[in-house]
Amino acid sequence: MAARLGIVVVNYRTADLVIGCMRSLSDEPRRLPHPRVVVVDNASGDGSADRIAAAIREERWGSWVSLLPLADNRGFSAGNNAGLRLLLQPPEPADHVLLLNPDTVVRAGALRALLDFADGHPKAGIVGSRLEGPEGTPQNSAFRFHSVVAELDRGLRSGVTSRLLSRWGVVLPQPESACRADWVSGASMLIRREVLESIGPFDEGYFLYYEEVDFCLRAARAGWECWYEPRSHVVHLVGRSTGVDLASFSRRLPGYVFESRRRYFVKNHGPFYALLADLAWLAGHLLWLLRPRLPSRKRRASAMLLRDFLRHSVLVQGFSL
What pLDDT is attached to residue 165?
Answer: 74
pLDDT at 293 over 60: no
What pLDDT is attached to residue 18?
Answer: 98
What pLDDT is attached to residue 249?
Answer: 56
Beta-bridge partner residues of 131: 234
- Evaluate the CA torsion angle 104, 108, 113, 114 in order and state its sign: positive
CB-based burial, 234-244: b 16+ in 10 Å, e otherwise: bbbbbeebbeb
Of residues 23 and 295, more confidence is placed in 23
H/E stretch holding 106: strand 104-106
Torsion of CA 110, 114, 115, 117, to 10 degrees: 130
pLDDT at 77 over 70: yes
What pLDDT is attached to residue 299?
Answer: 52
pLDDT tens digits for 145-191? Answer: 999 999 999 988 766 666 777 788 899 998 899 999 999 999 999 99
pLDDT at 60 over 90: yes
Domains of the chain: 5-144+181-236 (3.90.550.60), 151-170+248-321 (no CATH)
pLDDT at 297 over 60: no
What pLDDT is attached to residue 304?
Answer: 86
H/E stretch holding 17: helix 15-25
pLDDT at 125 over 60: yes
Question: How far apart, in whole angstroms, are the C-alpha atoms of residue 261 and residue 95?
Answer: 31
Mean pLDDT computed over 135-150: 96
Do residues 193 and 201 touch, judged by C-beta distance below 8 A? no
Mean pLDDT computed over 288-297: 64
Percent of the chain with pLDDT over 90: 77
pLDDT at 1 over 70: no
What pLDDT is attached to residue 296?
Answer: 47
What pLDDT is attached to residue 163?
Answer: 74
Of residues 4 and 248, more confidence is placed in 4
What pLDDT is attached to residue 250?
Answer: 60
pLDDT at 295 over 80: no
pLDDT tens digits for 194-252? Answer: 999 999 999 999 999 999 999 999 999 999 999 999 999 999 998 766 666 666 556 78
Do residues 90 and 24 touch, judged by C-beta distance below 8 A? no
Lowest mean pLDDT among 55-64, 79-88, 186-195, 302-311: 302-311
What pLDDT is attached to residue 290?
Answer: 85
Do residues 154 and 284 touch, judged by C-beta distance below 8 A? yes
What pLDDT is attached to residue 164?
Answer: 74
Tell me what the pLDDT averaged over the chain comes to: 91
Question: How many other CB atoms sit within 10 Å of the CB of residue 250?
Answer: 11
What pLDDT is attached to residue 294?
Answer: 46
Mean pLDDT computed over 252-269: 95
Among the listed residues 198, 313, 216, the one whose alpha carbon sits nearest the alpha carbon of residue 262: 313
